[in-house]
Amino acid sequence: MNLVQAGYNILTILSIADGVVDDSEKKIIVDFIEKNYEGKFDIEAEDQYLQNLVRDKRVEERLTEAVKYFKDVVCMDNRYKMLHFAFDLIVADGDVSDEESELFSIIGNHWEVDMDLFFQQKREEILTGKYKPHEKLDPNCIV
């Protein structure tokens, strides 16, 4: 696994958690990955691999692997930014499924983020109109 693949896996697994993946969602993920990380991998092959994991109910295992890899090679600031982008992704359709929430919490917990506090801050941002979409990651903050 490389950083591009780990980032793509994290975001794609979150996006397929609600059972619906559309082309616009995939484009947002690919654009984010291309803007923030260098490296290549075969997206079509990865999508097929992830679909097989969904079928075999092994998505959480792959997410955990990707999250751990990401934690090992990216600084905390960029992990927070990725977490914020992932949040943007799961709330974009206006409904967060239980599966999305559970997988999202796995990410934060592995990255040692207080998820209760994170969700509380996001709720307050949304309610007060201060919610801002994700930020670009710092390329100097990758180990």
pLDDT of residue 7: 94
User: In whole angstroms, what is the distance from residue 54 CA to residue 49 CA?
Assistant: 9
> How much is the pTM?
0.86
pLDDT of residue 140: 59
pLDDT of residue 38: 84
Report the run of H or E that residue 62 belongs to, with start and end: helix 59-73
Radius of gyration of the CA atoms of the chain, in A:
14
Q: Are 37 and 7 in contact (CB under 8 A)?
A: yes
Q: Are 4 and 40 in contact (CB under 8 A)?
A: yes
CATH of 3-141, one of 3.40.50, 1.10.3470, 1.10.3680, 2.30.40: 1.10.3680
pLDDT of residue 143: 45
Mean pLDDT by 10 residues, the chain (143 residues): 93 85 81 86 88 87 96 92 89 81 92 90 85 62 51
Sequence ranges of the domains in the chain: 3-141
